[in-house]
Amino acid sequence: MQSEHADLLAGYRARMSSAASQEVLRSIEREAFDKGGTIAGMLAKVPSLEPSERAGAGRAANELKRALEADFAAARERLAQAALERERSGGDFDATLPAPKARRGSLHPLTQVQRELEDLFTSMGYEVLDGPEIELERNNFDALNIAKDHPARDAMDTFWVKTPPGQERLVLRTHTSPVQVRAMAHLKPPFRAIAPGKVFRQETTDASHEHTFHQMEGLVVGEGISVGNLIGTMQTLLQGIFGRAIEVRLRPGYFPFVEPGFELDARCPFCKQGCSVCKRSTWIELLPCGLVHPRVLEAGGIDIERYSGFAFGLGLSRLVMMRHGIEDVRHLLAGDLRFLEQF
């Protein structure tokens, strides 16, 4: 038994002295001390020995354990000292080698397109506004003429934030339109503003629907604002984004906070006959818009005898898809570097 322990100790000592790093040393140490390792194996055998041999075997195993612990501690210290020495004497550092290149990140494609649009709109005299992602139910729905029992609430089923009874209810905003309400409360007409941001819906996701996506709201209020101003602005917007004419169609659309309302669809860039992105229609819903409903203007304290306005709610995520040929909106916020590194 004793010579067996002496051999084991000698074997471990030889491996410790040739270990070139703390990592290697730690892996040898684990072999000795971990569950199922050398020492544990020896101690496990003790109960099955003859009663007269048990005490001696237990003692011997514990002695070996203590000897190994001391040797490993000394080996760790030796390696640490050697590393310190190397560092002091310049070690592996070669000042003549070029520095390793820092990895450069890039802006998210959503941020890139958002910034381009902000530049375009600020050049046309628009302000860029921000609004909270957790919004009062009142701003997200009621002030936009979407009453509690209005069917439009179903189309924007959302995530509710738990609030104590009696307090105003909060939602994760389902669209950027509540920023219209906030803008009217703070800005004096005439004004022009855009509000890009993240919105949330309780959606069954597919290639063109995400539960978290980006929109960009636009709101213009002034004297004599008409559908002609709205369409002209939408044309400038699309020309600015695509830098070329793209086929669009304007059709009537219903939103309780605009009257009249329109849906501006863009021709699907992914197919000719219909695909999963355009739901086999060859058109992608991109840019709903309309003249601001007088009730919304009034709720915002705006004199409807004097002022009118238009608003739009650009589907920013879908626009980014079209711009870069991304065939599934779910790539955008998945955080996969293999996707993001392409931009």
Residues that bind ligand FA5 (CB under 6 A): 175, 177, 201, 203, 209-210, 213, 215, 255, 258, 261, 285-286, 288-290, 311-313, 315, 317-318, 329
Query: For residues 135 and 210, which CB has a smaller minimum distance to ligand FA5 in the complex?
Result: 210
Distance (Å, whole) CA 62 – CA 230:
87
**Least distance in angstroms from the C-beta of 180 to ligand FA5:** 7
Distance (Å, whole) CA 207 – CA 330:
7
Query: Do residues 139 and 178 touch, judged by C-beta distance below 8 A?
Result: yes
**Least distance in angstroms from the C-beta of 88 to ligand FA5:** 59
**Least distance in angstroms from the C-beta of 292 to ligand FA5:** 8
Query: For residues 32 and 300, which CB has a smaller minimum distance to ligand FA5 in the complex?
Result: 300
Position closest to ligand FA5 via CB: 315
Query: For residues 8 and 248, which CB has a smaller minimum distance to ligand FA5 in the complex?
Result: 248
Query: For residues 189 and 288, which CB has a smaller minimum distance to ligand FA5 in the complex?
Result: 288
> For 234-238, which contacts have Cβ atoms below 8 Å and span 24 or more sequence positions?
234/264, 234/287, 234/289, 234/312, 236/120, 236/124, 237/117, 237/120, 237/287, 237/314, 238/266, 238/287
Cβ-based neighbour number of residue 226 at 10 Å: 11
**Least distance in angstroms from the C-beta of 315 to ligand FA5:** 2
**Least distance in angstroms from the C-beta of 290 to ligand FA5:** 5
Please give the sequence-ordered ranges of beta strands (E in DSSP) within the chain, or none if there are none: 127-128, 134-136, 160-161, 170-172, 191-200, 212-222, 248-252, 258-267, 283-292, 308-315
**Least distance in angstroms from the C-beta of 103 to ligand FA5:** 31
- Bridge partners of 315, per DSSP, are 215
Give the pair of three-digit tokens for residue 293. Answer: 């409903």
Stated as kind and residue range, the H or E segment containing 80 is helix 51-88
Query: For residues 61 and 287, which CB has a smaller minimum distance to ligand FA5 in the complex?
Result: 287
Query: For residues 61 and 109, which CB has a smaller minimum distance to ligand FA5 in the complex?
Result: 109
